[in-house]
Structure 1
């Protein structure tokens, strides 16, 4: 396995099921019961697994179908999916069925993609529950073909099974063992898409202080003995050398005139 690997986790589900609440509980150990519509929120996490560094992008998506082109792009570029429904809402369970159909239509390798199906709002089941774990199990294992999938119920409010969601995703991705004790909630950073783009450009500029045309070539005169990059000549030195060359040319022209 390589020393560095990056995967993208895409969270899908209907409106108001608690996708953002799950993310916020996992990242910041916070919960807010005020609903805010999400268009796109991108988070980044790094795991030091000893033998490799794993970078995980978590993409929190909109719960409606207003942006079909964006949804197709999310699905096409994902390495794993988290499908979230509310255990108190039968329509939300229908929504994740529709999400899965989108995955099946857009990904020929859908049977190999890690998927976790999570039923949120477990804290409300004492008074109201419309979808049981048996309902979800019957759909996944009886109606669908063989998948790399895990089913569980959770509560973002009471912090029930939140870490297990992401541990199972990494386990299904075969990036950590099933019984691994890595703390999956550490090292996370929130980044918007614009921030990621800007910082990546800044990093490239920091790593490459010279413009492309001024970078020394591996086979050109910019290499000294031992394949070490030669230090760039200062502009003042170049200007002095240029003035000296021009003076030599003028002196040579004067000498030629004197001889003739």
Structure 2
């Protein structure tokens, strides 16, 4: 029997900065310009790391800064954070600062929590930039020293640095070695994956979304970026019984904030 390691990543930031686009580009290699406000969605992936199973939950939160109760629950249950702003919006960077302030107030262990600050929409930065990368790095490394944090700019639309965001988070979480060259020697193997919409879980008759499963051994890049191991294959639905079990489990995790959420 393998041991289970779990990490829950909470995506925080203002509305319209591209949190959902980053997730969908990373997991499914898809992108759309159409905007749909997120209430709360949960994506899950499982990987084999030798005798250890790593389960990664990605919680996509609402960009509505008025929904403070939901954001507090997300902060309480997360092991790592990705704070997303748009490099084309100065106000979105202020939202990131507000999110971090809430993390610092709510989590006594905030200095030990892996945090990636992601500046999305870098493809528009040449003509519409409002937030300089130096401004963000100065804030993180000068005003907020001693954090386990990294700053990266990315573009979900152009698929620039999206995979690096998640690789950096796993490295900060010490699941991946810093400076890994992803040469395929890690022996990582993706076990299964599932997608659960937390917002729809509030309905009694909610349906689980399709999920992807993979059985072949994958390189480190494929393990960090699941879409590379499934190519253009269509998503296949899992069995109904397994979907129900995963749905019930993730629903309980979202609505029951746990104190046992520190990184091991």
- Report the TM-score when normalising by structure 1: 0.72
1:147 aligns to 2:163 (yes or no): no
Q: Find the counterpart in structure 1 of residue 89 from structure 2.
A: 89
Alignment check: 8 A CA contact 2:103 2:110 kept = yes
Q: Find the counterpart in structure 1 of residue 56 from structure 2.
A: 56
Alignment check: 8 A CA contact 1:27 1:188 kept = no
Q: After TM superposition, give the deviation of residue 179 of structure 1 in Å.
A: 3.2
Q: Find the counterpart in structure 1 of residue 45 from structure 2.
A: 45
Q: Which runs of 5+ in 1 are unaligned?
A: 204-260
1:34 aligns to 2:39 (yes or no): no
Q: Find the counterpart in structure 1 of residue 157 from structure 2.
A: 157
Q: 1:172-251 alignment to 2 at 5 Å?
A: 172-180=172-180, 181=182, 188-193=193-198, 194=201, 195=208, 198-200=244-246
Partners in 1 of 2:90 and 2:23 — Cα distance? 22
Pick the structure with more helix per residue: 1
Tell me which moved more, 126-135 or 35-44. 126-135
Alignment check: 8 A CA contact 2:8 2:56 kept = yes
Q: After TM superposition, give the deviation of residue 64 of structure 1 in Å.
A: 1.0
Q: Which runs of 5+ in 2 are unaligned?
A: 202-207, 209-241, 250-264
Partners in 2 of 1:197 and 1:107 — Cα distance? 32
Partners in 1 of 2:248 and 2:14 — Cα distance? 36
Q: After TM superposition, give the deviation of residue 66 of structure 1 in Å.
A: 3.1
Alignment check: 8 A CA contact 2:40 2:59 kept = yes
Identify if the C-alpha distance between structure 1 residues 137 and 5 changes in structure 2 by more than 3 Å, giving closer, same or farther.
Answer: same
Q: After TM superposition, give the deviation of residue 35 of structure 1 in Å.
A: 0.8
Q: Find the counterpart in structure 1 of residue 136 from structure 2.
A: 136
- Where 1:199 maps in the other structure, the secondary structure is helix
- Where 2:12 maps in the other structure, the secondary structure is strand
Identify if the C-alpha distance between structure 1 residues 38 and 3 changes in structure 2 by more than 3 Å, giving closer, same or farther.
Answer: same
Q: After TM superposition, give the deviation of residue 106 of structure 1 in Å.
A: 0.4
Cα RMSD (Å): 2.2
Partners in 1 of 2:131 and 2:18 — Cα distance? 15
Q: Find the counterpart in structure 2 of residue 166 from structure 1.
A: 166
Q: After TM superposition, give the deviation of residue 65 of structure 1 in Å.
A: 2.3
Partners in 2 of 1:27 and 1:144 — Cα distance? 31
Q: After TM superposition, give the deviation of residue 176 of structure 1 in Å.
A: 1.3
Partners in 1 of 2:29 and 2:19 — Cα distance? 14
Partners in 2 of 1:200 and 1:25 — Cα distance? 23
Larger Rg: 1
Q: Find the counterpart in structure 2 of residue 214 from structure 1.
A: none
Aligned residues: 201
